[in-house]
Structure formats: structure tokens, C-alpha cells
């Protein structure tokens, strides 16, 4: 078997950088043992990374083996640059700036009230231009954009909350800032966050995102599963069957009936008011309001059905719930678990580690992988 030297070198470089990112500060000797590479190869690669300022020396320490020799430790230079991560929903535009280890440098948000795509882009540019100068080596390295809708190969297929009108967001920001731009579905990014910002490596997981709409990000064999045209996990489009047989086109969708926005509309109707906020819903639930309690019971019932569908379809090791409502009312998750107790081998149902920033940090992960040219490589980021 003939092995191309350039391919082997490229593989070794990725493996060494992965070891430094995930296990640093670490010595060259420890990298050599971890990867099974000879010390000369490791030293040469580490030297190249130091020259490129991707890796920095952390000084010498006494070797762990107790030989008395001193070993130089090296660590990933997280301030090599930064990435900008946007999330665009129907109600709010968010921006999170992180350095290359996932640590946040800046966060800002702006309300979107029936804004056009041109107005949204102008606001995004304004938010970027107002950023301070960060203490990093090379400035902006990549941009990620989270969309509440279907995304396929960096293009928006459908978005129920914003009319993007075939506007090419990716090209717009590539041409303006001359960096890679990644666009992805928000629930998919929530799933990426749960994997990459944790030391626990899972082969498969599902992240259920409940906000204006409902979606599921799916990781199978440690890779995002998007389906044929990016529609995998669009559980908000599941049809809810009523009593009797009806035309399928007339059946309501899960989004229409049980998204956070739909739930608040139902609550407003029950309370005979024009608007009902999430805070009011949580407060009423805490006070034992019977009408709100009944509404939340119906929500848990339907979420349990969808969760059971996800379990039998993908058999994940864990299911994460990314929902401001469930975060504030954790008893809802217990209710769903109880409703599924009849099923064998139900995976753990847990809250997201970070409901507010999960999508943005998932975008940061994809952007950083792009910067380091390490797609599909397991990197552990800081949270």
C-alpha cells in the first residue's frame, strides 16, 4: 500500500493539534505517547505550529516520570483570532464573539420586529462594526449564522419567521469581511454545542429546541445528520391528528399548536388577554393556576409523543431539551419522563447545559473547525 507523504503529514498535523487543543498544556513527549508518533515528528509539527502562532510555549516543568528532566509544555493559542456567531429568529438578532477555544469575548442582541432581510443585514454589519479591538493575533477568522429554518449546503431553503427572499447572506458577509461564512439550522447547532462543549463524548444525541418553533438537532455517529435536503429534525412540521379522518393538508402542525409562541397564544386565549408572556406563564404555573396547569399538561403529553418518535427513529444515547420554558419549569421534563416510563430503554432526558447560548456556541464550534481546517475532528471547547 502506497501512502502519500503529504496526506500522512496532514493527518499527523491534525492529530497533534487535536491533542494540544483537547489535552493541553501538554509536552511533546506526552503527545508522542498519546498518538504513537515518534518524537522527532511531533517536535517538528509542534515547531511549525509555534511559528504559525497557533500554539504557544507554557514554559518548562519537571517531567511526570520523575526523571528530573524538564519538559516544555505547549498549549493551543486561543487568542490566535476570533469568530463571530449570529442567531436570527423572528424576534431577535443575537451576536456572540468567541476566541478559538470557545470562550466568549462579547455578546449583544437587537430586537427584530417584522424587519426585512436588508434591515437585518444592516443591523448585523452595524453590530460587527461597533465591536472593540480584541487582544488577538490575527483578528476575525470566520462567521457563523444560525437560522430558524431549513438550511441546505449553506443556503436557506425555508424560514417561517423571516422572509429572506433568496438573499445570499453567505456571499454578502464573505465579500465584506473576507473570511469563511457558515450557515446552519439553529437546532443542529444546539446539538453540536452539547457534543463539543463537553468532555463526555457521545456517539449519538438529539437536541430538542423549543422556541418560536420546534426543531431537533441530530448527531449520529458523532456527525450532524441533516437528511437529504436539510430537513431532518424538522419536528415542528409533524402533523397532529385530530378525531376522525381529515385531509392531511388541513391538519395542524406541531409548530402551529405547541411551539413556545403557540403556547403563549393559547394561554392568552384562556386568560382573555391580548398577549401573555413567558414570565406570566411561569408565574401562573408556580401559583398552581388550574387553566395553565391543564395547558402545560397538554404540552407535556404532545412533547412525550414526539420524544418517543425521536427515540424509536434515532435511538440516541441522550436527548437534550433546549427551551426557556422547560428551563424555568423543570418539572415539565420530569412529567415527560414519567409519560415515557412504559417504553423500554428510554435514554436520559436532560436540560441543555446552556439554553441561552447553545446555538451561538454551536456555531462557534463549526466556525473554529473551519478556521483550523479540522472538519469532523473531535475538539473539546471551554464552557
| Residue 97 phi, psi (nearest 5) | -105, 130
Question: Which DSSP symbol is given to 83?
Answer: E
Q: What's the pTM value of the predicted model, to 2 decimals?
A: 0.94
- Taking CB atoms within 8 Å and a gap of at least 24, the contacts of 195-198 are 195/219, 195/222, 196/102, 196/362, 196/365, 196/378, 196/379, 196/380, 196/381, 197/102, 197/353, 197/354, 197/361, 197/365, 197/380, 197/381, 197/382, 197/383, 198/353, 198/380, 198/383
In terms of Cβ atoms closer than 10 Å to its own Cβ (0-12, 13-18, 19+), residue 63 is: middle
Pick the CATH number of 199-351 from 2.60.120.10, 3.30.470.20, 3.30.450.40, 3.30.420.40: 3.30.420.40
The three cell numbers locating residue 109: 442582541
The helix (run of H) or strand (run of E) holding residue 84 is strand 82-88
The Cα–Cα gap between 340 and 331 comes to 14
Asked if the domains 5-76 and 80-193+358-371 are classified in one and the same CATH topology, the answer is: no
Question: Left (φ > 0), alpha (ψ -120 to 50) or beta: where does 8 sit?
Answer: alpha
Which residue matches cell numbers 376522525? Answer: 244
Distances (CA, A) of 282 to 240, 271, 296, 329, 332: 25, 14, 10, 7, 11
The Cα–Cα gap between 237 and 231 comes to 10
Which residue matches cell numbers 397538554? Answer: 298
Task: Please list the rounded mean pLDDT of every run of 10 residues in the chain (383 residues).
Answer: 76 96 95 94 96 91 62 95 97 97 97 92 97 95 97 92 90 98 98 96 96 96 95 94 82 93 96 96 97 98 97 98 97 98 95 97 98 95 84
CATH superfamily, with its number, for domain 80-193+358-371: ATPase, nucleotide binding domain (3.30.420.40)
Map residue 362 onto helix, strand or coil: helix
- Residue 253 in contact with residue 239, Cβ under 8 Å? yes
Q: What is the pLDDT of residues 63-74, one digit of tens each?
A: 665 555 678 999
Which residue matches cell numbers 461597533? Answer: 130
pLDDT at residue 2 in the model? 54
Cβ count near 321 (within 10 Å): 24
351: nearest Cα among 194, 229, 225, 232 = 194
Q: What is the pLDDT of residues 82-140, one digit of tens each?
A: 999 999 998 999 999 999 999 999 999 999 988 999 999 999 999 999 999 999 999 99
pLDDT at residue 248 in the model? 87
Which residue matches cell numbers 455578546? Answer: 107
The three cell numbers locating residue 208: 430538542
- Hey, what CATH topology would domain 5-76 get? Arc Repressor Mutant, subunit A (1.10.10)
The Cα–Cα gap between 335 and 363 comes to 31
Domain residue spans of the chain: 5-76, 80-193+358-371, 199-351
Amino acid at each position: 500500500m502506497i501512502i502519500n507523504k503529504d496526506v500522512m503529514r496532514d493527518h499527523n498535523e491534525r492529530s497533534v493539534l487535536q491533542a494540544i487543543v483537547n489535552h493541553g498544556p501538554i509536552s511533546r513527549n506526552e503527545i508522542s505517547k498519546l498518538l504513537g508518533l515518534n518524537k522527532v515528528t511531533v517536535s517538528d509539527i509542534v515547531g511549525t505550529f509555534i511559528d504559525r502562532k497557533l500554539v504557544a510555549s507554557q514554559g518548562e516543568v519537571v517531567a511526570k516520570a520523575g526523571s528530573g528532566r524538564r519538559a516544555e509544555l505547549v498549549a493551543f493559542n486561543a487568542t490566535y483570532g476570533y469568530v463571530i456567531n449570529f442567531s436570527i429568529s423572528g424576534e431577535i438578532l443575537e451576536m456572540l464573539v468567541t476566541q478559538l477555544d470557545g470562550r466568549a469575548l462579547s455578546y449583544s442582541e437587537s430586537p427584530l420586529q417584522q424587519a426585512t432581510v436588508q434591515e437585518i443585514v444592516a443591523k448585523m454589519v452595524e453590530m460587527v462594526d461597533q465591536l472593540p479591538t480584541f487582544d488577538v493575533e490575527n483578528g476575525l477568522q470566520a462567521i457563523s449564522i444560525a437560522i430558524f429554518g431549513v438550511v441546505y449546503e449553506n443556503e436557506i431553503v425555508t424560514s417561517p419567521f423571516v422572509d429572506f427572499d433568496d438573499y445570499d447572506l453567505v456571499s454578502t458577509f464573505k465579500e465584506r469581511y473576507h473570511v469563511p461564512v457558515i450557515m446552519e439550522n439553529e437546532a443542529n447547532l444546539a446539538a453540536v454545542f452539547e457534543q463539543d462543549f463537553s468532555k463526555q463524548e457521545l456517539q449519538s444525541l438529539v437536541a430538542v429546541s423549543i422556541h418560536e418553533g420546534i426543531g431537533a438537532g441530530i448527531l449520529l455517529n458523532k456527525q450532524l445528520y441533516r437528511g437529504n435536503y436539510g430537513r431532518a429534525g424538522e419536528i415542528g412540521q409533524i402533523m397532529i391528528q385530530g378525531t376522525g379522518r381529515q385531509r392531511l393538508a388541513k391538519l395542524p402542525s406541531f409548530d402551529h399548536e405547541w411551539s413556545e409562541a403557540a403556547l403563549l397564544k393559547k394561554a392568552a386565549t384562556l386568560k382573555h388577554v391580548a398577549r401573555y408572556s413567558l414570565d406570566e406563564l411561569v408565574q401562573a404555573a408556580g401559583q398552581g393556576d388550574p387553566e395553565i396547569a391543564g395547558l402545560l399538561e397538554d404540552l407535556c403529553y404532545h412533547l412525550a409523543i414526539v420524544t418517543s418518535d425521536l427515540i424509536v427513529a434515532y435511538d440516541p444515547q441522550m436527548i437534550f431539551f433546549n427551551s426557556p420554558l422547560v428551563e424555568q419549569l423543570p418539572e415539565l421534563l420530569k412529567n415527560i419522563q414519567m409519560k415515557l416510563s412504559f417504553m423500554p430503554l428510554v435514554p436520559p432526558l436532560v436540560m441543555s447545559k446552556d439554553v441561552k447560548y447553545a446555538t451561538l456556541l454551536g456555531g462557534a464550534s463549526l466556525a473554529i473547525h473551519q478556521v483550523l481546517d479540522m472538519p469532523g475532528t473531535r475538539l473539546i471547547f471551554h464552557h
